[in-house]
Amino acid sequence: MIRYLQARVLALLLILVLMSVVVFSFLHLTPGDPVEAMLGSEVDQETKDGLRHALGLDQPLPVQYGLWMSRALRGDLGSSIQMHQRVSALLAEKLPVTIELTAAASVVGLLIALPAGVLAAVRRNSAVDLGAMGIALAGVSIPSFWLGVMLILLFALHWRIFPSIGYVPIFRDPIGALRHLVLPAVTLGLGLAGTLTRMVRSGVLEELGHEYVRTAKAKGLRFPTVINRHVLRNALLPTLTVLGVQVSVLLGGAVITEQIFAWPGVGQLAVQAVQSRDYPVLQGSILIIAVLATVVQLVVDLAYAFMDPRIRLS
């Protein structure tokens, strides 16, 4: 396990370095002068030179990367050009909001996928199976930005069950926070539910074919007990791994969901940064989300290896 852990963490560090190069290069892909792109062409030369110097753009590229990276490692991602705040302070304020949304969406995804996947597998080729697979397919195909807009239209504007947009901190008003959380979490979670339902179904189907299921049934266990005690435990392991990979998709989807529901998270910050050409904020937002996605995936993989020795020994 220790050797597996070492190998995985080393691979993670290498990927993080390469990711930082990608994020760093965003500013330098910009055609023309990035400073002019940020400030506009009407600004005087002195202001432009000031920003160029502040961003270190007057240095050779490798030096620029080295400086940017050494500051980033100390938690300094520069200052926002438009909002006159430290990028790290902005991210510290916005990241918990994004994590809250992503966690809630994962819960929604699991709450739908577990029963739907198990039922579909147990009643294979029945109407239940067809229905569950139809919902799964819809979940994968309907883009979150349309689903979100439709949910607002129906549940907020038409039936007035939930508030349409906005964010309430959970510690200030737990009930209000939950009411504001439902529509965004469902919007983001339904796509995940689609992917997971298919995984759970194929996992359970595979396990149902094994001999231990027949043995368990033969010794007189009730079928629900067989499913709960034996089948689900084995079938859920691969589903967990998929959930790890899907966290990256969820964090990407959060960008759009936050925009629809006016949630003040990192995604909304990134979109504002694109619109105002605030490159330090954009770089910081993308880097923090990508790092978070990668670390979560590593944690899930490690948990999987811990539970299943075949993985870490192969």
Partner 1 sequence: MTRAYRHFLRNRLGIAGATLAALLLIVALGAPWLAREDPLDMHMAETLRPPSAQHWFGTDQFGRDVWARVVYGARLSFTVGLVSMLLATTLGMPLGAAAGYLGGTVDAVAMRVMDAILAFPAILLAIGLVAALGPGRGSGIIAIGIVYIPVLARVTRGAVLARRAEEYVDAARAVGVTDWGILRRHVLPNSIAPILVQATVGFASAVVIEAGLSFLGAGTPPPTPSWGSMLNEARQFMVVAPHVAVFPGAAISLAVLGFNLLGDGLRDVLDPRLKA
Which tokens belong to 143?
């883009």
170/181 Cα distance (integer angstroms)? 10
166/181 Cα distance (integer angstroms)? 9
Q: In terms of C-beta density within 10 A (0-12 exposed, 13-18 middle, 19 or more buried), how is residue 17 classed?
A: exposed
Among 1, 10, 18, 313, binds partner 1 (CB under 8 A): 18
Shortest Cβ 302–partner 1 spacing (Å): 16
Single out the segment in contact with partner 1 by CB under 8 A; choices: 10-18, 49-57, 120-128, 172-180.
10-18
Any contact of residue 235 with partner 1 (CB under 8 A)?
no
Q: Which of 272, 302, 299, 297 is nearest to 284 (CA)?
A: 272
Among 271, 303, 304, 308, binds partner 1 (CB under 8 A): 271
Task: Closer to partner 1 by CB, 92 or 150: give it.
Answer: 150
- Binding to partner 1 in span 181-200, by CB under 8 A: 198
Any contact of residue 307 with partner 1 (CB under 8 A)?
no
Shortest Cβ 152–partner 1 spacing (Å): 8
3-class SS letters over 153-179: HHHHHHCCCCCCCCCCCCCCCHHHHHH
Shortest Cβ 172–partner 1 spacing (Å): 27
Nearest 5°: phi and psi at 83? Answer: -100, -5
HSE-CB at 208 with a 13 A cutoff on CA atoms is 18
Any contact of residue 64 with partner 1 (CB under 8 A)?
no
Please work out the total of residues on this chain that contact partner 1, with binding judged by CB under 8 A.
52
Enumerate the H helices of 152-278 as residue ranges.
174-208, 211-218, 223-225, 232-260, 266-275
Any contact of residue 294 with partner 1 (CB under 8 A)?
yes
**Site map 146..165 versus partner 1, x via CB under 8 A:** x--xx-xx---x--------
First to last CA, the chain: 11
Among 81, 200, 255, 269, binds partner 1 (CB under 8 A): 255
Largest CA distance in the chain: 85
**Site map 197..216 versus partner 1, x via CB under 8 A:** -x---x--------------
Task: Closer to partner 1 by CB, 18 or 67: give it.
Answer: 18
In eight-state DSSP terms, residue 308 is: -
Any contact of residue 19 with partner 1 (CB under 8 A)?
yes
Any contact of residue 103 with partner 1 (CB under 8 A)?
no
Task: Closer to partner 1 by CB, 101 or 152: give it.
Answer: 152
CB–CB of 293/248 below 8 Å? yes
185/192 Cα distance (integer angstroms)? 11
> Which position has the token pair 């160029």?
52
Any contact of residue 248 with partner 1 (CB under 8 A)?
yes
Q: Which residues bind partner 1 (CB under 8 A)?
A: 14-15, 18-19, 21-23, 26-31, 137-138, 140-143, 145-146, 149-150, 152-153, 157, 198, 202, 248-249, 251-253, 255-256, 259-260, 270-271, 273-275, 277, 279, 282-283, 286, 289-290, 293-294, 297
